[in-house]
A = this chain, B = another copy of it.
Amino acid sequence: MNMEFNELAALYKNELLNNVLPFWLNNSVDREYGGYYTCLTREGKVFDTDKFVWLQGREVWMFSMLYNKLEKKEEWLECAIQGGEFLKKHGHDGNYNWYFSLTREGVPIVEPYNIFSYTFACMAFGQLSLATGNQEYAEIAKKTFDIILSRINNPKGKWNKAHQGTRNLKSFSLPMILCNLSLEIEHLLDENTLKETIENCIHEVMDVFYRPELGIVLENVTIDNQLSDTFEGRVLNPGHAIEAMWFIMDLGVRLNRPGLIEKARDIALKMVKYGWDEKYGGIFYFMDRKGYPPQQLEWDQKLWWVHVETLITLIKAYQLTGCKESLRWFNIIHEYTWTHFKDPENGEWFGYLNRQGEVLLSLKGGKWKGCFHVPRALYQCWKTLEFCSEKE
């Protein structure tokens, strides 16, 4: 490799602390109404003031996590608390049903149709309760988690447009996110709930959505765990699958199961190679497992989160198993990511490239991109690379 682990660690650390975090601290905090702006231009100018609960929760989480794990910086804690207060006051309907989006002032715009508004709120208040010791935040996280579990079999609720009984599919996203969320709020769960949730999610991800006969991870299967030869049953999201594998590796570490870690590494490597665009480089956003045209018109685009999550997975795979092939692919994805997504002129990274690797949308934040994947990946890679460097 071109750089030593300690140089790489320093690169990721510097990018996090001196480029990415300042971008969000300087541009995203709404000092009048609280919460965060996330629709930010390339330079960091606010171009829309709507507040999306996914991204509000994720930014609360990010600054709480950094305060808890990296440094007790007052600026980070204040940034997290003001966002948490905004969410506590405006983010839900009074019963911890989390809206999808709010006006700048906090008035609901879109109803609580999306289960991931709940998961990211839960993650936010879990970390914020650790950062502050505030029991109210812990209660919000716990109550929200209970609602998520109660909705696990019909996460869309009354907004579900599927006709009952014809084609009952289940999605990879929720068990995948719960792999991560269960460890995030471990301190709030009783032992049985934690154990049951974890075992159930590992089973769903590794035995149901991962299909050994195909060697790939699916996005949707039937509720009785069968393949579905439909658009939903054929679609693949390599970035999703790869991201899930570092959640599984974290669980493998927590549960001390080397076999699980190795299986996750093998699946991740398979999905990286499957998703890699031989022609232009980068990992495709969506694919069809039978090679048919996917429904998603954006299928060939290169998205920031896919690539930075892949970096986390590959470097963890190397750290935990010493796998050279993982390190080789880490270097390939590192090269692609830093030369294509990093903005040489302003803070934060680009999010959306076309297939050719050119910037498709110059925004640094929007409806789906906020203060989350880039800083989380920089933090995770930095710490993992540091570990690798110390082991040498």
| A residues with CB within 8 A of B | 41, 47-48, 50, 99-100, 103, 107-111, 113, 158-159, 161-163, 166-167, 230-231, 290, 292-295, 297-301, 352, 354-355, 360-363, 366-367
Which of B107, B293, B361, B363 has a CB less than 8 Å from the CB of A366? B293
A194 CB to nearest chain B CB (Å)? 33
User: Would you call B162 and A110 a contact (CB within 8 A)?
Assistant: yes
User: In whole angstroms, how far apart are the Cα atoms of A159 and B157 in the complex?
Assistant: 11
On chain B, the residues within 8 Å of A166 by CB distance are: 103, 107-109
User: Would you call B167 and A47 a contact (CB within 8 A)?
Assistant: no
Q: Is the interface of A mostly helix, strand, loop or mixed?
A: loop
User: In whole angstroms, how far apart are the Cα atoms of A204 and B299 in the complex?
Assistant: 35
On chain B, the residues within 8 Å of A298 by CB distance are: 297-298
Q: Given that A113-B161, A297-B297 are contacting pairs, would A48 and B108 also be in contact in the complex, using a CB cutoff of 8 Å?
A: no
User: Would you call B109 and A363 a contact (CB within 8 A)?
Assistant: no
Q: Given that A297-B298, A367-B295 are contacting pairs, would A231 and B48 also be in contact in the complex, using a CB cutoff of 8 Å?
A: yes
A234 to chain B: closest residue by CB: B48
Q: Given that A103-B166, A161-B159, A167-B103 are contacting pairs, would A295 and B366 also be in contact in the complex, using a CB cutoff of 8 Å?
A: yes
User: In whole angstroms, how far apart are the Cα atoms of A294 and B360 in the complex?
Assistant: 10
A33 CB to nearest chain B CB (Å)? 15
User: Would you call B109 and A162 a contact (CB within 8 A)?
Assistant: yes
A355 to chain B: closest residue by CB: B354
On chain B, the residues within 8 Å of A47 by CB distance are: 290, 292-293
User: Would you call A163 and B366 a contact (CB within 8 A)?
Assistant: no
A-B residue pairs in contact (CB < 8 Å), sample of 19: A48-B230, A48-B292, A50-B230, A100-B161, A103-B167, A107-B166, A109-B162, A109-B167, A110-B163, A113-B161, A159-B159, A231-B367, A293-B362, A293-B363, A294-B361, A295-B366, A298-B298, A299-B361, A300-B360
A234 CB to nearest chain B CB (Å)? 8
A126 CB to nearest chain B CB (Å)? 26
User: In whole angstroms, how far apart are the Cα atoms of A178 and B298 in the complex?
Assistant: 30
On chain B, the residues within 8 Å of A299 by CB distance are: 361
Q: Given that A162-B109, A166-B107, A166-B109 are contacting pairs, would A231 and B293 also be in contact in the complex, using a CB cutoff of 8 Å?
A: no
On chain B, the residues within 8 Å of A355 by CB distance are: 354
A370 CB to nearest chain B CB (Å)? 14
User: In whole angstroms, how far apart are the Cα atoms of A367 and B159 in the complex?
Assistant: 21
A151 CB to nearest chain B CB (Å)? 16
On chain B, the residues within 8 Å of A295 by CB distance are: 366-367
On chain B, the residues within 8 Å of A162 by CB distance are: 109-111
User: In whole angstroms, how far apart are the Cα atoms of A355 and B352 in the complex?
Assistant: 14
On chain B, the residues within 8 Å of A362 by CB distance are: 293
User: In whole angstroms, how far apart are the Cα atoms of A161 and B290 in the complex?
Assistant: 33
User: Would you call A352 and B163 a contact (CB within 8 A)?
Assistant: no
Task: List 6 other contacts, CB 8 Å, given A109-B162, A158-B158.
Answer: A48-B292, A50-B231, A111-B161, A111-B163, A297-B297, A300-B354
A52 CB to nearest chain B CB (Å)? 11
On chain B, the residues within 8 Å of A158 by CB distance are: 158
User: In whole angstroms, how far apart are the Cα atoms of A112 and B166 in the complex?
Assistant: 14
A39 CB to nearest chain B CB (Å)? 8
A219 CB to nearest chain B CB (Å)? 16
A301 to chain B: closest residue by CB: B297
Q: Given that A48-B230, A158-B158 are contacting pairs, would A109 and B297 also be in contact in the complex, using a CB cutoff of 8 Å?
A: no
On chain B, the residues within 8 Å of A103 by CB distance are: 166-167
A109 CB to nearest chain B CB (Å)? 5
User: In whole angstroms, how far apart are the Cα atoms of A75 and B161 in the complex?
Assistant: 36
On chain B, the residues within 8 Å of A100 by CB distance are: 161
